[in-house]
Amino acid sequence: MTAGQLNRRVSVELVTISDDQAGQRIDNFLATKLKGLPKSRLYRLLRKGEVRVNKGRIGPAYRLQAGDVVRVPPVRLSARTGGNSAEPSASALEFLAGRVVFEDKQLLVLDKPSGMAVHGGSGLSYGVIEALRASRPDCHYLELVHRLDRETSGCLLIAKRRSYLRSLHSLLRAGAMEKQYMTLVRGDWQLGKILLEDQLSTHQRRGGERHVEVGAEGKASASRFRPLQSFSSATLMEVSLLTGRTHQIRVQAEAAGHPVAGDDKYGDPVFNRQMARFGLKRMFLHAHSLAFEDPGSGEWRAFSAPLPEDLRDVMDRLEGGA
């Protein structure tokens, strides 16, 4: 073992799948169970039959059922120390713990900070979900209910039971969850309160980066935009999402002629530089509230996250004209 690595031995483990764990693919289950194990090695374990369910071989697409007994083989995990560690630091875990808005046995609501991805990948060793799993080793199930862009801050739902995740996904598909954002857009918004409906198409660009465009072949997307406050060169908006497409608010705002401030992908570079002089250092997009009828109890549940200090400071400077 080199000085830059930490190796730890994991012994054979037999895991009985609970109701909340049922329904997920075996490869996803193993990725959570064996944190830090490269995916290529994980699939090799499955091909060689070292992972077994009810003493039999299974493929990576096998979906676990309640009562299944999974044999998790002994593997050697390595994690590099330093900035590229696959495990979040203690300070990162503490910081995230301070941003929990609500938590019970079924749900965790987080005020996600800007700059932190919801999950690892694309060069990121970890994201919100990996950090939460690391901070709650006794919690058998944690999954994202929905996603926020890396630069977007605000309310993020994490399910703590698979049955609850399925119920919330049903609400999202039915458009029965209220999701409201606050954003700053270019110029003086003259459209009033308006429902924007567009067809959005997602394309893969060089390097695997996604780019979304308005096009006749796209998926139906709807957002309700409402102006809240006007400034000399920008307007603060409240946006209610009626559908949940990739980059929906950003693309629809740009198509309406009012791109989001600080948006490097769909925004206006000249406007972004202007807003930078008012102290804006990231995209001005914040998920400020979520509300829905609880699928189990029928209780109305509403959560909110205040506009972050960095965005409030930009607002103050815009109001002062400085």
CATH number at residue 111: 3.30.2350.10
The answer as to whether 82 is a domain residue is no
Cβ(194)–Cβ(53) under 8 Å? no
Nearest to 190 by CA among 240, 249, 258: 258
Q: Which of 27, 111, 149, 198 is catalytic?
A: 149
For the chain, state the CA radius of gyration: 22
Same-domain pairing of 272 and 301: yes
Q: How far apart are CA 185 and CA 259, in angstroms?
A: 5
Residue 29: phi and psi, rounded to 5, are -60, -45
Q: What is the mean pLDDT of residues 141-157?
A: 94
Which helix (H) or strand (E) segment is 279 a member of? Answer: none
pLDDT, tens digit, 9 for 90 and up, residues 8-19: 445 788 889 887
**20 classed as catalytic:** no
The answer as to whether 81 is a domain residue is no
Q: What is the mean pLDDT of residues 57-75?
A: 90
Same-domain pairing of 313 and 273: yes
Same-domain pairing of 99 and 204: no
Give the max Cα distance, the chain.
70
Cβ(42)–Cβ(72) under 8 Å? no
* pLDDT at 206 > cutoff 60: no
Q: What is the mean pLDDT of residues 81-88?
A: 49
Band (pLDDT 50/70/90 cuts) for residue 207 is low
The answer as to whether 84 is a domain residue is no
Same-domain pairing of 210 and 265: yes
For the chain, give the mean pLDDT: 87
Q: How far apart are CA 45 and CA 7, in angstroms?
A: 19
Q: What pLDDT score does 322 carry? A: 56
How many domains does the chain fold into? 3
Distant-in-sequence, close-in-space partners of 266: CB < 8 Å, separation ≥ 6: 247, 250, 251, 253, 254, 259, 260
Domain boundary among 134, 165, 196: 165
Same-domain pairing of 179 and 278: yes
The predicted model scores a pTM of 0.76
Lowest mean pLDDT among 43-47, 72-76, 82-86: 82-86
Q: What is the chain's length? A: 322
* pLDDT at 141 > cutoff 50: yes
* pLDDT at 2 > cutoff 60: no
Q: What pLDDT score does 96 carry? A: 87
Q: What pLDDT score does 6 carry? A: 38
Q: What is the mean pLDDT of residues 272-301?
A: 96
Residue 183 CA, distance from chain mean position? 18
Between 199 and 322, where is the model more confident?
199
* Domain limits for position 269: 175-320
Same-domain pairing of 142 and 117: yes
pLDDT, tens digit, 9 for 90 and up, residues 154-194: 999 999 998 999 999 999 999 999 999 999 999 999 999 99
Same-domain pairing of 63 and 137: no
The answer as to whether 230 is a domain residue is yes
